[in-house]
Amino acid sequence: MRIPDSTTRIHAIAALAFRTAVRSRLLLCMSALLLLVTFGLPATIAGDGTLSGTVRVLLDYTLGLSSLLLGVAMLWTSCAGVAREIETGHIRLIAVRPVHALELWLGKWLGLLAVCGLLLGIAGIGTYTLLRWKLHTSPASTEERRATTEQILSGQRRVVPQPDVLETAMELRLAEAAAKGWNPKLIPRAKALVLIRAQLLSERATVAPATERSWLLDLPRRLPKSAPVTLRTRISPSDGTGGLLAGSWTVTPEGHPERAWATTPQHYGNQITHIALPPGLARAGQTLRVTYRNDTHANTAVFDLERGVELLVRESSFASNLLRALLVVWCRLGLLCALGLAAGTCFSFPVAAFCASALVLLSMTGHYFITNEAADVTINSRTPPSAASAMIHKISEPLIHTLERLAAPAVSESPLAMLSDGVLVSWTHTLTSLLTLIILYGGTLALASAALLRRRELATGER
């Protein structure tokens, strides 16, 4: 009798896991929930009444909630994938020679990945279909349709300003703090510099009346021919009224002052402003100097700290950008499945579900719970932190920072947020997610879980 090779055994276990999920109530319930979210949620949330607001609701809330539901369901299902079979003894039927532990684990993981892909495809196709229907039936004007298509329904590469060089200013500010009584024993130098840097960045994000601020932005060395380039700003008045801001913009290619271009758009507080640059102004490999002058008399202009000024270069259609965003979401769901299977290999189902969920939540929110004395006191504070606070901070901070570095590829900027913002989800980003989350992290969890399964010798009845 011919013994199947390793690939055939893995495919057989994956097909069995997929058929089990399809025949269970999981797929039926999740499909119903996804359809309800996709077509029911947009009917209950009206947005801001504009076409762009409707589109953002569809992309943010519909796909965001769908991916959240899938993440919870897949984490729960994957925790039970191995743990339940160990508890019931069903795993003894397949964990026999010549089926190796790694083949068993990979087969179950591939089956869950297939289920994720199927459910995510349902959500993506439903959202795309509903989006096209909304665009076709919307009473919006032609100009609003065009603006929505250009600003949201496209893949635009972000070009951010060169980072500010703050080292010299930080040292000067630290010297001033020392002259006023800064005590390095209470607030270490490293924490003091972090606090000073945040203060300087906040100060540089404001433009007082009758003053100006400049940014340098390096364009990519390769630009698509005739690609539209847009300057996008997030600016608001300091009084928080959301009123009109008077200001002028000047865009100048470095080394070519004769090609400077100026405009005076209307800025409404707390809103995003798009300024289309004239064709030929932005050229591949050039550096553009973007200058804003605040022409108001009594109101300071406040820019968003992270995305106050940026250039957008259109490089992709919306359909392909949506596909890449869904692929990145699929990679993240695949990591959740791998984490759940690994937890189910180590613990019983309730413990595995608790540990996996706690690890995911801690990875996403752990940095909010670090006790940071520098954020609560001034540099010149003379009040030392309590002994308990210092001890908690000393123990928790290294652990949280290590977990954040490990989880960074999985909890970085959301591809769905990029999609609803009209930002390009590049193939580089997609392939990086595949290599990091699926191959590197998933492969590491697979090897560790397979080693544990081999030690437990499940086929002989040890539990």
State whether 430 and 340 are in the same domain: yes
Residue 160 lies in a domain: no
Buried b or exposed e, range 35-55, using 16+ CB within 10 angstroms: eebbeebbeeeebeeebbebb
Element spanning 317, H or E = strand 309-317
Mean pLDDT of 59-76: 88
**Does pLDDT of 301 surpass 80?**
yes
pLDDT at residue number 374: 40
**Does pLDDT of 400 surpass 80?**
no
Between CA 366 and CA 412 the distance in angstroms is 14
State whether 179 and 129 are in the same domain: no
**Does pLDDT of 369 surpass 70?**
no
State whether 77 and 171 are in the same domain: no
State whether 55 and 172 are in the same domain: no
State whether 276 and 222 are in the same domain: yes
CATH number at residue 251: 2.60.120
Domain boundary among 317, 335, 359: 317
State whether 86 and 117 are in the same domain: yes
**Does pLDDT of 166 surpass 80?**
yes
State whether 287 and 190 are in the same domain: yes
Between CA 202 and CA 48 the distance in angstroms is 29
**Does pLDDT of 462 surpass 60?**
no
State whether 343 and 382 are in the same domain: yes
pLDDT at residue number 367: 58
Mean pLDDT of 190-194: 80
**Does pLDDT of 78 surpass 60?**
yes
Domain boundary among 317, 340, 359: 317
State whether 138 and 104 are in the same domain: yes
Between CA 158 and CA 321 the distance in angstroms is 14
State whether 379 and 437 are in the same domain: yes
Residue 450 lies in a domain: yes
In this prediction, residue 80 has a pLDDT band, given cuts at 50, 70 and 90, of confident
Residue 1 lies in a domain: no
pLDDT at residue number 243: 67
Total domains in the chain come to: 2
Average pLDDT of the chain, as a whole number = 82
Domain boundary among 317, 334, 349: 317
The model's pTM is 0.85
pLDDT at residue number 265: 84
Query: What's the domain range around 19?
Result: 6-155+319-460
State whether 274 and 361 are in the same domain: no
CA 399 from chain centre, in angstroms, equals: 22
